[in-house]
Amino acid sequence: MATQTWFITGSSRGFGRALAVAALEAGDNVVATARKVDQQDDLVQQYGDRVLPVALDVTDRSAAVAGLEAAVGRFGRIDVVVNNAGYANLSPVETTSEDDFRQQVDTNFWGVYNVSTAALPILKTQGGGTVVQFSSIGGRVGGSPGLGAYQAAKFAVDGFTRVLATETAPFGIKYLIVEPSGFATDWAGASMQIPDLGPEYNQTVGEIARLLSGPAATAGDPKRAGEILVRMVKRQNLPSHLLLGAGAVQLAQSYSQSQLEEAAAWEAVSRSADFDQDYPVEL
């Protein structure tokens, strides 16, 4: 397969860094973006001119446009756009400040919107490409106490991407939503702020805080994840969603089963809302 060019947000650490290295090891080119461009110096030293470091705050749409234009200027095209940049703080919805909540949504959803929509004219002009959106198993099953802003944004990424996939299918653009469970990254480490939760939310948000410091939060290997995704993107046919990690598979299967059971249990009530159905029904 011909050399591909990757545009990866948040490539200074975690999944973004692992994916950048995996793509470079596969012989591809990487536009490595991060808030601080010097965080990519080691990649340039090791892989030379196959790396283009770009300073990018994904909440700045004009910066996203400029970064993508720089990528095309260096490599001629972009084959894979990866929206990986994101973070979470842990606190109850009730006590999370509005500024904190908005900032998390700005990065985790609007950042995806900015980069995705800025990339569309390029991908359409060149006749296709692949967009990889990093979500989370929490973006499918939800309900994790303390992660209201993060999971709300990830649900939005899923819905947004499903619409994009339908709208842009005639242009040859493919999409892959990645849903990891716990991985050995800095997501639940220094990059996550956890204020004093107090006794009121100790049983709910406090339990999540304790889980995030345990082995389940680091079960996944980012290096393996990066290598899997590089191989996956080179396939002709992609799944719409890719779970990563045994925990993600278990949670997704359990959640889907419970959804089917609930829909069946309330089927008569649900159907009764239509004009041509029996009404009223027993509740």
Other beta carbons within 10 Å of 175 = 20
**Residue spans of alpha helices (H) in the chain:** 14-25, 41-47, 61-75, 98-105, 111-126, 138-141, 148-168, 205-212, 222-233, 246-265, 267-271
| Whether 271 contacts 277, CB under 8 Å | yes
- Phi and psi at 65, nearest 5°, equal -60, -45
The one catalytic residue in 11, 154, 174, 201 is 154
- The 8-class DSSP code of residue 283 comes to -
Catalytic residue among 150, 174, 175, 181: 150
272 catalytic per annotation: no
Instruction: State how far the alpha carbon of 184 is from the alpha carbons of 25, 85, 95, 180, 280, in Å.
Output: 21, 16, 28, 11, 53
Q: What is the DSSP string of 223-258?
A: HHHHHHHHHHHTSSS--SEEEESHHHHHHHHHHHHH
Contacts of 271-276 with C-beta under 8 Å, sequence gap 24+, read: none
Which is catalytic among the residues 12, 135, 136, 144? 135
154 is catalytic: yes
223 catalytic? Reply is no
Measure the CA angle with vertex 90, ends 85 and 96; round to 5°. Answer: 105
Structure tokens at 133: 């959106």
From residue 95, give the alpha-carbon distance in Å to each of 99, 146, 200, 201, 221: 11, 10, 11, 10, 33
Alpha-carbon distance 7 to 48, whole Å?
16
Catalytic residues: 135, 150, 154
